[in-house]
Amino acid sequence: MANIKLSANKLDELREVCKSFNNEKGELINVLHKAQGIFGYLPAEVQEVIARELNVSVAHVYGVVTFYSFFTMLPKGEHPVSICLGTACYVRGAEKVIEEFKRILNINVGETTPDGKFSLACLRCVGACGLAPVVLVGEKVFGRVSPDGVKDIIAEYAK
């Protein structure tokens, strides 16, 4: 018999979330959304618990998690980096900025560095189009980022 391991208070919190949605199957996306808020990501154990609480198959939960780009099964880094791919940022070269982050951090979008410091994600428009291309690290906004400026941003957090 295999076991699913979770800490007791996290498990209670997760069950509470499911309960707040009346353990309804149709609320799966909302439950996952809240759960990711609690854990920062959606590890297999969390999906197993949610599947049981909502009485759906784990495969189905995993199907939903992998379908929506918002959900992630990897823990976010200490400094989550998000690059805006909205139209303004895109035409001003956001893609090259992404490439540079990927090159320096040696990870792909959606991944976290092995030391847990940085994770890389894309988002659509933060409403600062005048500053395009825009990069967010945690809550902090960096504007008019050029590929050359990427190493300085990383250096600022790498300490």
Cβ atoms within 10 Å of 5's Cβ, excluding its own: 7
Encoded tokens for 60: 């189905």
Encoded tokens for 135: 């990069």
SS3 90: helix
Considering only residues 13, 27, 40, 52, which one is a binding residue for another protein as defined by CB under 8 A?
52
Strand partners, 79: 118
Beta carbon nearer to another protein, 5 or 159: 5
Rounded Cα–Cα distance for residues 129 and 144 (Å): 10
Q: Say how many residues touch another protein, by CB under 8 A.
A: 25
3 forms part of the interface with another protein (CB under 8 A) = yes
Contact yes or no for 68/100 (Cβ under 8 A): no
Q: One-letter amino acid identity for 91? A: V
CB of residue 117 to another protein, shortest distance in Å: 26
User: Which residue stretch of 18-26, 42-50, 93-101, 148-156 sits at the interface with another protein (rule: CB under 8 A)?
Assistant: 42-50
159 forms part of the interface with another protein (CB under 8 A) = no
Contact yes or no for 31/21 (Cβ under 8 A): yes
Considering only residues 29, 56, 74, 88, which one is a binding residue for another protein as defined by CB under 8 A?
56
User: Which residue stretch of 56-64, 74-82, 85-93, 132-140 sits at the interface with another protein (rule: CB under 8 A)?
Assistant: 56-64
For binding to another protein (CB under 8 A), which residues are involved?
Answer: 1-8, 11, 44, 47-49, 52, 56-63, 66-67, 69
